[in-house]
Amino acid sequence: MPSSTSTRIEVGARAALFCALILSCITPAFAADPIKIGAIFGVTGPAAYLGAPEEKTARMVVDDINRNGGILGRQVQLIVKDSGANSEKAISFAKQLIDEDNVVAIIGPTTSGESMAIKDICEKAGMPLVSCASAETITTPVAKYVFKVPQKDNYIVEWLYGTMRKLGISKIGVIAANTGFGNGGKAQLEKYASKYGMTIAIAEVYDSAATDLSALLTKVNATGVQAVVNWSIEPAQSIVAKNMRQLKMPQQLFQSHGFANIKYVEAAGEAAEGIIFPAGRLIIAGELPASNPQKKLLMKYNADYRALYKEDASTFGGHAIDALMILKSAIEAAKGTNPDKMVQAIEGIKDFPGTAGVFNFSASDHNGLQMDSIEMMTVKNGKFTLYKGK
Amino acid sequence: MPLQLFLQYFVSGVIYGSIYAAVAIGFNIVYNATGIINFAQGEFAMLGGMIAASLSHFVPLWFAVVAAVAITAMSGVAMERVFLRRVARGGVLKMIITTIGLSIALREAALLIWGESVRTLPFFSGNEVSSVTVLGANFSPQVFWVVGVTALVVAGLTLFFRFSLSGKAMRGCSANRDGASLCGISPDRMVTMAFGLSAGIGAIAGCIVAPLTQTHYAIGAGLAIKGFTVAAFGGLGNSVAAVVAGLFLGMLESFSIIVVPEAYKDVVTIGVLLLVLFVKPSGLFGSRASGALKDF
């Protein structure tokens, strides 16, 4: 049928012309190549309470940078990959970002397990990586191209033990999710116990998708501990709090910095009252004195995030802003995206206020944060507040 | 072991067991009517909990739960009418695979609608920190709701299948599809009803446990595995057996924590499932003769 063929050719020609027109309109905008930054976040899956705010924050920050003229006059293109907190996926996304997308740096992954999984890949490829996960092992020992912005988990442990010692607690039970984050925290708790004179009477891992922990907590309760430490990032954090109250357990509940998302407080309701946990200052920014170097930045981030996404910012989203701002400052200082110069530039960053703390990087410290980047917090009337002791 | 400690584990076992039994009953209803395993059963529980959680912000809790159960039951009906009836001629395997596909579609749809965050339903009585003490064991008053509603559902179903005309017609269809047609019963309509009923019961299960366990878009798959284990363990198609099997498995999980870390409690469950499938494929209370009548 010749007529239909000719119609088809005509349609094809028109489509091609149309595409050419569109392309010719778009091309000028890309005249200066954009700076491509890769991001691997667990937007969905078990770490979604961390990964989703990270992704939202990263998009917000990149839009903001681009509106203000980009970096070195070049626009920033953020390529986000949702790993679902799965290490295998993180590995293939890292390879994809390095080999196919030709990004200049990667931020994320969200979890410690994923970060450790891609550490070597980035190191071998000479790809600057700014991790948003907390395990000490990510930057200890130092790998040339690998940095991280959250506070180290050993700082968290030392803050927890310090607080317990003040409260006269010496015999504790540890429960942790069976994930990289949970097992990492449990190992740090066990490592530092003797330094602070703590006895861990029981240390158990639970399934990260657990929906009820009453049987496990019954076992913990039977050991006669004075306090319970829960180390996880999953919704189980709220379930532990509820189950302890339902079991009428008298012990103080401590959580890790994984608790610093107000949604966990909402999910636990009244059971969240009085939980003690260490975290960065973002969630209590309003209580900080005006002289605090982080206050202005924290208040702005909180307000911007709330205006755009109609929900409260969390410390996890803050890691994304820190990672991006550190990269921005490094690219500006290195006057380009040469990986070795970028690494040098990051190592030269001093007194840099971020959401997690004031960063002081060096060749031997790829985290840049000290113990003082953390405060002890508690929950009062459904809100986070500074813990001022009993 | 001190009595109080024993009772505390016992109560945890009852909570787990009732949840599994409620999901297993939904499997059984569909199995009886069609001879297939509906792998979207867990998603019904997820939908029930999520819809109720969303509605509870606007309407009284009881109304939110009733509406969630009704909406989920209607989605069960729609699922059968739109998808499963079309593939029914292709045999049970085709239908089972379709339910797997539908479960994935429902899960992804829930992710789009509600996002990744966890929801909770207000406690039916008391709140997060309420606790009652019975013989030294402490637990949330919600446990009474879970156990009570599950018992009511089982009793209601037993009465329905034994005495009501629709119930008898459904049993008739299940026993002999052609014979039932000859008596003027429409098998298609009975299958539709079975899906509506099982979706509604799944939603009830999702609602009564949501205050305790919280709920999110991906909670269905885990519930479905446990529910299926319990249904197979008790003997497919038998709802009273599902309750007994559910409580047994719940106890096993709860007491196993004394020796096995919580993280590995699913190993215990799956181990039991494999054992049953090897040793007595018809389940604890199933008979080989009735099992042989089914295609699957």
Which of the 8 DSSP states describes residue B61? H
Rg of chain A in Å (alpha carbons): 23
Q: Which tens digit of pLDDT belongs to each residue from A82-108?
A: 999 899 999 999 999 999 999 999 998
- Interface contact A248-B133, CB threshold 8 A: yes
Residues 6+ apart with CB under 8 A from A177: A205, A206, A207, A208, A210, A231, A232, A233, A234, A236
- Interface contact A267-B131, CB threshold 8 A: no
Residue A13: pLDDT above 70?
no
State the average pLDDT over residues B16-30.
90
Q: Which CATH number fits domain A154-279: 3.40.140.10, 3.40.30.10, 1.10.220.110, 3.40.50.2300?
A: 3.40.50.2300
**pLDDT tier at A297 (50, 70, 90 boundaries)?**
very high
Residue B239 belongs to domain with CATH number: 1.10.3470
Report yes or no: B194 and B29 within 8 Å, Cβ to Cβ: yes
Q: Where are the domains of chain A?
A: 35-151+294-373, 154-279
- pLDDT computed for residue A28 by the predictor: 45
Using a CB-CB distance cutoff of 8 angstroms, which residues of chain A are in contact with residue B5? 218, 222
Backbone angles phi, psi at A236, to 5 degrees: -55, -20
Question: Which residue reads 């009477």 in tokens?
Answer: A201
- Interface contact B138-A246, CB threshold 8 A: yes
Q: Tell whether B166 lies on the interface with A, counting CB pairs under 8 A.
A: no
- pLDDT computed for residue A325 by the predictor: 96
Sign (positive/negative) of CA torsion B121, B127, B130, B134?
A: negative
CA distance A104 to chain B (A): 30
Instruction: Check if CATH label 3.40.718.10 holds for domain A35-151+294-373.
Output: no
CA distance A65 to B230: 55
Residues 6+ apart with CB under 8 A from B174: B32, B33, B237
CA distance B9 to chain A (A): 6
CA distance A385 to chain B (A): 21
Report how far apart the first and last C-alpha atoms of chain B are (Å, whole number): 44
**pLDDT tier at B295 (50, 70, 90 boundaries)?**
very low
State the average pLDDT over residues A119-134.
95
Q: Which tens digit of pLDDT belongs to each residue from A201-257?
A: 999 999 888 888 999 999 999 999 999 999 998 889 999 999 999 999 999 999 999
- pLDDT computed for residue B69 by the predictor: 97
Q: How many domains does chain B have?
A: 1
Question: Which residue reads 């529980």 in tokens?
Answer: B45
Report how far apart the first and last C-alpha atoms of chain A are (Å, whole number): 88
Residue B293: pLDDT above 60?
no
Please name the member of A206, A238, A270 whose beta carbon is closest to the beta carbon of B129: A270
Least confident residue range of A74-83, A120-129, A258-267: A258-267
- pLDDT computed for residue A2 by the predictor: 45
Q: Tell whether B125 lies on the interface with A, counting CB pairs under 8 A.
A: no
Using a CB-CB distance cutoff of 8 angstroms, which residues of chain B are in contact with residue A216? 257, 262
Residues 6+ apart with CB under 8 A from A192: A154, A157, A158, A161, A198
**Per-state percent for chain B, helix, strand, coil, to nearest 5:** 75, 5, 20
Residues 6+ apart with CB under 8 A from A310: none
State the average pLDDT over residues A333-342.
94
Please name the member of B9, B116, B128 whose beta carbon is closest to the beta carbon of A215: B9
- pLDDT computed for residue A18 by the predictor: 57
By residue count, chain B amounts to: 296
Please name the member of A213, A235, A248 whose beta carbon is closest to the beta carbon of B262: A213
**pLDDT tier at B85 (50, 70, 90 boundaries)?**
confident
- pLDDT computed for residue A29 by the predictor: 45
Residue A5: pLDDT above 80?
no
- pLDDT computed for residue A99 by the predictor: 95
Three-class secondary structure assignment of chain A = CHHHHHHHHHHHHHHHHHHHHHHHHHHHHHCCCCEEEEEEECCCCCCHHHHHHHHHHHHHHHHHHHHCCCECCECEEEEEEECCCCHHHHHHHHHHHHHCCCCCEEECCCCHHHHHHHHHHHHHHCCCEEECCCCHHHCCCCCCCEEECCCCHHHHHHHHHHHHHHCCCCEEEEEEECCHHHHHHHHHHHHHCHHHCCEEEEEEEECCCCCCCHHHHHHHHCCCCCEEEEECCCCHHHHHHHHHHHCCCCCEEEECHHHCCHHHHHHHHHHHCCCEEEECHHHHHHHCCCCCCCHHHHHHHHHHHHHHHCCCCCHHHHHHHHHHHHHHHHHHHHCCCCHHHHHHHHHCCCCEECCCCEECCECCECCCCCHHHCEEEEEECCEEEECCCC
CA distance A201 to A172: 6
CA distance B141 to chain A (A): 9
Strand bridging mode A146-148 / A129-131? parallel
Using a CB-CB distance cutoff of 8 angstroms, which residues of chain A are in contact with residue B140? 242, 246
- pLDDT computed for residue A11 by the predictor: 58
Residue A265: pLDDT above 90?
yes
Q: Tell whether B128 lies on the interface with A, counting CB pairs under 8 A.
A: yes
Angle between helix A214-221 and B239-256 (nearest 10):
30
CA distance B36 to A227: 49
- pTM, full prediction: 0.83
Mutation site, B10, B11, B12, interface A, largest A CB count within 10 A: B12
Angle between helix B187-213 and B41-55 (nearest 10):
60
Please name the member of B117, B133, B219 whose beta carbon is closest to the beta carbon of A263: B117
* The token pair that represents B124 in the structure block: 């039916």
Please name the member of A212, A235, A271 whose beta carbon is closest to the beta carbon of B15: A212
**pLDDT tier at A56 (50, 70, 90 boundaries)?**
very high
Residue A151: pLDDT above 80?
yes
| Cis amide linkage into residue B141, ω under 30° from 0 | no
Q: Tell whether B5 lies on the interface with A, counting CB pairs under 8 A.
A: yes
Residue B50: pLDDT above 60?
yes
Report yes or no: B119 and B49 within 8 Å, Cβ to Cβ: yes
- Interface contact B116-A52, CB threshold 8 A: yes
Using a CB-CB distance cutoff of 8 angstroms, which residues of chain A are in contact with residue B258? 219
Report yes or no: B122 and B214 within 8 Å, Cβ to Cβ: no
Mutation site, B107, B111, B118, interface A, largest A CB count within 10 A: B118
Domain that holds residue B70: 3-292
Residues 6+ apart with CB under 8 A from A254: A160, A163, A164, A227, A228, A229, A230, A275, A276, A277
Please name the member of B138, B219, B257 whose beta carbon is closest to the beta carbon of A215: B257
Residue A16: pLDDT above 70?
no
Residue B12: pLDDT above 80?
yes
**pLDDT tier at A9 (50, 70, 90 boundaries)?**
low
- pLDDT computed for residue A217 by the predictor: 95
Q: Tell whether B263 lies on the interface with A, counting CB pairs under 8 A.
A: yes
Residue B130: pLDDT above 50?
yes
- pLDDT computed for residue A135 by the predictor: 86
CA distance A375 to B213: 30
Q: Tell whether A219 lies on the interface with B, counting CB pairs under 8 A.
A: yes
Please name the member of B13, B214, B261 whose beta carbon is closest to the beta carbon of A239: B214
- Interface contact A269-B127, CB threshold 8 A: yes
Q: Tell whether A220 lies on the interface with B, counting CB pairs under 8 A.
A: no
**pLDDT tier at A3 (50, 70, 90 boundaries)?**
very low
- pLDDT computed for residue A27 by the predictor: 46
Question: Which residue reads 């042989």 in tokens?
Answer: B292
Pick the most confident of A175-184, B48-57, B161-170: B48-57
**pLDDT tier at A138 (50, 70, 90 boundaries)?**
very high
CA distance A227 to chain B (A): 18
**pLDDT tier at A7 (50, 70, 90 boundaries)?**
low
Report yes or no: A122 and A128 within 8 Å, Cβ to Cβ: yes
- pLDDT computed for residue A69 by the predictor: 92
- Interface contact A269-B263, CB threshold 8 A: no
CA distance B275 to B266: 14
Q: Tell whether B117 lies on the interface with A, counting CB pairs under 8 A.
A: yes
Buried b (16+ CB within 10 A) or exposed e, B143-164: bebbbebbeebbeebeebbeee
Report yes or no: A45 and A86 within 8 Å, Cβ to Cβ: yes
ipTM surpassing 0.90, yes or no? no
Q: What's the mean pLDDT when you consider all of chain A?
A: 90
Report yes or no: B186 and B69 within 8 Å, Cβ to Cβ: no
Backbone angles phi, psi at A61, to 5 degrees: -65, -40
* The token pair that represents B196 in the structure block: 């509506």
State the average pLDDT over residues A262-288.
92
Using a CB-CB distance cutoff of 8 angstroms, which residues of chain A are in contact with residue B118? 49, 235, 238, 263, 267
Using a CB-CB distance cutoff of 8 angstroms, which residues of chain A are in contact with residue B11? 214
- Interface contact A49-B117, CB threshold 8 A: yes
